[in-house]
Amino acid sequence: MNKNVIRVAAAIPGIPMLINGIGFIATPLETAQSLGMELLTGIGLSTQLGDFTSFFIGTAVLIFLGAFKSDSKLLYAAALYLGGAAVFRTVAALFNGADMATDIIIVELVLTAWICTCAFLLGKKD
């Protein structure tokens, strides 16, 4: 398969990550609500916006750099964050009384598998 096609495919999951990251800067209320959250106040708001913006933009940067440089290690790092989010959402539901966010978990797992597949294909030696 053509490496450029794989690179483009690898970059696609970075788009919603970047949109959410920018959303937490530009329209935090709407972005939080789109993810099933209410905005906190005070130091909690600072933590919420700082951590979520960092997560989404950091993941997007890893995806885009990994795709641009054909660097499977960067893509695997991005997949670690997305897959970790799915795992810890499940932990939150099982052990901390959070609602099970099945739809979001499925999206995170699909994107994780997508990125890992692209990383694997880019890492293969021709």
Which amino acid type is present at position 92? A
- What's the predicted TM-score (pTM) here? 0.94
Q: How many domains does the chain have?
A: 1
Burial state string for 57-89 with b = 16 or more CB within 10 A and e = fewer than 16: bebbbbbbbbbeebbbebbbbbbebbbebbeeb
Tokens of 6: 């794989």
Average pLDDT over residues 87-108: 97
**Strand ranges, E, within the chain:** none
DSSP annotation of 36: T
Count of C-beta atoms within a 10 Å radius of residue 35:
13
pLDDT of residue 126: 55
Q: Which domain holds residue 115?
A: 3-123
pLDDT of residue 15: 98
